[in-house]
Chains A and B, each alone.
Chain A
Amino acid sequence: MIIQLKRIKLQTRKAEEAVNITASVEEVVRKSGVKNGLVNVLTSHTSSGLLVTEGIPCLEEDILTHLARLFPEDADYHHRRYLDYDGRLGFNADAHLKSVVGGISCTFPIENGEIVKGSRQTIYFMEYDGPLQRTYLVQVLGE
């Protein structure tokens, strides 16, 4: 049984963006030596997300646009207050809520050393409060 965890840093470059990380997840799986098992991918941050959809720019734009419609930046959020543990105010509730609704992880099976996924399925790291250097986790489990 192999259990391998990789922490991968990602520099996001915009306030909001969808970053295709499929290739780097596939590379971790290939290098792990696992032939049959599972790969789990998740973000380490509560104002970012991890999701799977078809890898085309129009959908990337639609996801961000409609999450923003659900959680407008200017809506009334209780989070807008001084957070004494952080020494600063929380005014990014919209980013947190997008993360909650959009999800923070995905799991795929591994078969014969390759991720088993639909041909159009693309793994995205979702930045909702950038630009920031972020970390996402890729854990491979199997034999």
Chain B
Amino acid sequence: MIDFHTHPVLIQELREKYPNYERAAREVFYIGNNFQPLETFFLEMDVAGIERAVLLPIDCRRARKTSVSSNEQVAELVGKSRRFVGFASVDPQKKGAERELEAAIRKLGLKGLKLDPALQDFDPKARSAFAVYEAAEALKVPLVIHTGMSWAPGTRLERGHPLALEGALRQFPKLNFVLAHFAWPWVWEAVAMALKYPNVFLDTSCLTYDSPKEFFQFVFSKQIPTTAIERSLRNQIVFGSNYPRVEIKNMAAALRSLNLTEACLRKIFKENAERLLGE
């Protein structure tokens, strides 16, 4: 069981070590929860029945003056536990972003790329972004890209519209795009893209109102029928919690509350993620 969408932004051990870490969590990622020891992260995974978690940094040094976790911090955490899978983040508008990505994959051992056009403030259709997509495709790593609504202050909703990625995913058919947060509220558009393009995956980390169970019931049975997941999208959805914005246990329980078969849940919780990670 793999959680494909977590952010290591509230780790007590990193706050004590890195001066900017707390400001990034509070002012950029914008989360008010208490910092917790790394042990809490593992216990949260245990309670949710999750074996491994993908750690996603966001390189927004240009746009927000600090990273929300750096590639080095993610690599440091991965070095502490085999339960973590680390992704890298680079700023497409920064010269040499492609080389930086290559170093993060080859030297730091990170397994994928994370981008957030809203928080990083870049145009996902820009030539510079395409150069980074091309580098990720060449490195054979998946891309988790923020789509849908962003809570962070100062971000623009339009940066998260999934259709902005259509040109890229057509141009790079061997690059797997994981559209984070199921692109909510643009769920239909995201589903259309996943139906049309086999290199589009969707992660379940969407929660904008109500409780995780209520929101999942709404999105995955009213916005789209549950049968669409079971019959058409079962190979292109991965479980993501967005922890610590939401607890993993609540999101996992919400997914399990849907009327999906065990075989389908196994794909969403495990097999699709393993395929994306090349395992």
Contacts and interface: CB of A to CB of B under 8 A. Distances in A.
Given A11-B39, A81-B209, A86 B47 contact: no
A87 B209 contact: no
Interface string B185-226: 000000000000000000000011111111000000000000
Interface in A1-52: 11-15
Contacts of B29: 87
Nearest to B249: A15
Interface string B92-134: 0000000000000000000000000000000000000000000
Contacts, number: 65
Contact of A89 (B30, B47, B209, B249): B209
A80 B214 contact: yes
Contacts of B250: 91
A87 B30 contact: yes
B191 to A, nearest CB: 23
Interface residues of B, number: 29
Contacts of B232: none
- Count class of interface residues, chain A: 20 to 34
Contact of B47 (A11, A14, A81, A87): A14
B40 interface: yes
Given A15-B47, A131-B44, A133-B40, A86 B33 contact: yes
A82 B208 contact: yes
A88 B33 contact: yes
A62 interface: no
B37 A133 contact: yes
Given A14-B47, A87-B31, A131-B40, A74 B249 contact: no
Majority secondary structure of chain A interface residues (helix, strand, loop or mixed): loop
Nearest to B42: A131
B212 A91 contact: yes
Given A13-B43, A131-B47, A80 B211 contact: yes
A132 B213 CA distance: 22
A85 B32 contact: yes
A85 B26 CA distance: 10
B3 to A, nearest CB: 15
Contact of A86 (B31, B209, B212): B31
24 contacts: A11-B37, A11-B43, A15-B47, A74-B213, A77-B211, A81-B209, A82-B151, A83-B32, A86-B33, A87-B29, A87-B30, A87-B31, A87-B245, A88-B31, A88-B32, A89-B211, A89-B246, A91-B210, A91-B211, A131-B40, A131-B43, A132-B36, A132-B40, A133-B36
